[in-house]
């Protein structure tokens, strides 16, 4: 057995710690800003730790009083969850059959390449036709309409990821199941999809994050609290002449919580997908 030197082991740990610091430092500073009094954020030299922690901004943003900043924020939070959730579910529902079909029929792989090529277009090039289409359907300033726009972004990406996952599953396993009498849908349900669970979870997670962080189309196609998403609401907090940077940081901290929770749930799905399905006793 190869033995690693103590120096190399220390080097690995130092690199891991440095990477963790680089990744977590902005998040930690965001939280510190959210609990710092406004005077500390404007002080020179800058105070890296507040003398007194102020959690009042969290209470402001989570309040439900009518016509308050909290009401606007919580409404936008709810809209973001609905839009990202609908778009992700629809994208995965389309990506599973599309990705499997392209994986098992390489001769039609060119169609997926052409669809993915649409990512080369800048979003502003599609803004006018999308706006006109939503206006014609009466879906402007509507969470369903915004989710439909996000679906056009997420579907090619998730299909490509699912196709890569299906490529790693041997066709012989599916053929063996069909020889044993399983139909196509039974084979997909019992054999293929459990084996593809890791890439399904990964696709869903990345799709949700893409929809959650999208700003350009949300800014163009929404106008009030009926459909305005969290990214636009945070931008509104920074849009005044005098901005409360602590309040913006608080909104950032709260906006990061749903993706983190969903990531933890998806992590379990990734592990379970590696240990389920496809093995005959």
User: Distance from CA of residue 173 to its chain's centroid?
Assistant: 32
* pLDDT value of residue 213: 92
At residue 277, the pLDDT reads 43
Q: Kindly report the pTM of this predicted structure.
A: 0.85
**C-alpha–C-alpha distance, residues 161 and 183, integer Å:** 25
- pLDDT, tens digit, 9 for 90 and up, residues 44-77: 887 788 888 888 899 989 887 877 788 889 999 9
pLDDT of residue 8: 86
Residue 149 has a pLDDT of 95
pLDDT of residue 165: 86
CATH topology of domain 65-276: MetI-like fold (1.10.3720)
pLDDT value, residue 264: 80
Domains of the chain, residue spans:
1-53, 65-276
pLDDT, tens only, 232-250: 999 888 776 557 888 899 9
Look-up of token digits 């005044």: 240
Residue 281: pLDDT band by 50, 70, 90 thresholds?
very low
As a whole number, mean pLDDT of residues 260-267 equals: 80
* 221: pLDDT strictly greater than 70: yes
Predicted local confidence at residue 270, as pLDDT: 59
User: Which residues are within 8 A (CB) of 220 and not within 5 positions of it... i.e. 6 or more apart?
Assistant: 127, 131
pLDDT of residue 4: 64
Average pLDDT over all residues of the chain: 86
The pLDDT value given to residue 3: 59
Higher pLDDT, 38 or 73: 73
Looking at residue 138, its pLDDT comes to: 92
Tens-digit pLDDT profile for residues 161-218 = 899 888 888 888 888 888 878 788 888 888 888 888 888 888 898 899 999 999 999 9
Give residue-wise pLDDT tens across range 187-198.
888 888 888 888
């Amino acid at each position: 057995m190869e033995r690693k030197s103590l120096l190399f082991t220390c080097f690995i740990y130092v690199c891991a710690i440095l990477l963790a610091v680089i990744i977590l430092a902005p998040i930690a500073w965001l939280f510190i800003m959210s609990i710092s009094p406004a005077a500390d954020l404007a002080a020179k030299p800058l105070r890296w730790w507040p003398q007194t922690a102020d959690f009042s901004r969290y209470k402001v943003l989570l309040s439900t009083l009518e016509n308050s900043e909290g009401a606007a924020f919580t409404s936008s939070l709810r809209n973001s969850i609905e839009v990202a959730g609908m778009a992700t579910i629809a994208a995965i529902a389309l990506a599973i059959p599309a990705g499997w079909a392209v994986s098992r029929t390489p001769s039609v792989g060119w169609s997926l390449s052409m669809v993915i090529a649409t990512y080369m277009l800048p979003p502003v090039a599609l803004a006018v036709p999308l706006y006109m289409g939503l206006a014609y359907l009466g879906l402007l300033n509507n969470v369903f309409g915004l989710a439909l726009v996000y679906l056009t972004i997420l579907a090619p990406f998730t299909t490509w990821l699912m196709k890569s996952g299906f490529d790693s599953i041997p066709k012989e396993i599916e053929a063996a199941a069909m020889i044993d009498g399983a139909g196509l849908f039974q084979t997909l349900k019992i054999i293929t999809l459990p084996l593809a669970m890791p890439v399904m979870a990964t696709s869903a997670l990345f799709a949700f994050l893409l929809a959650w962080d999208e700003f350009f189309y949300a800014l163009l196609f929404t106008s009030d609290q009926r459909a305005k998403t969290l990214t636009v609401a945070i931008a509104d907090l920074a849009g005044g002449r005098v901005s409360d940077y602590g309040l913006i940081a608080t909104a950032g901290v709260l906006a990061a919580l749903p993706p983190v929770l969903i990531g933890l749930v998806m992590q379990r799905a990734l592990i379970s997908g590696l240990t389920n399905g496809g093995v005959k006793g």
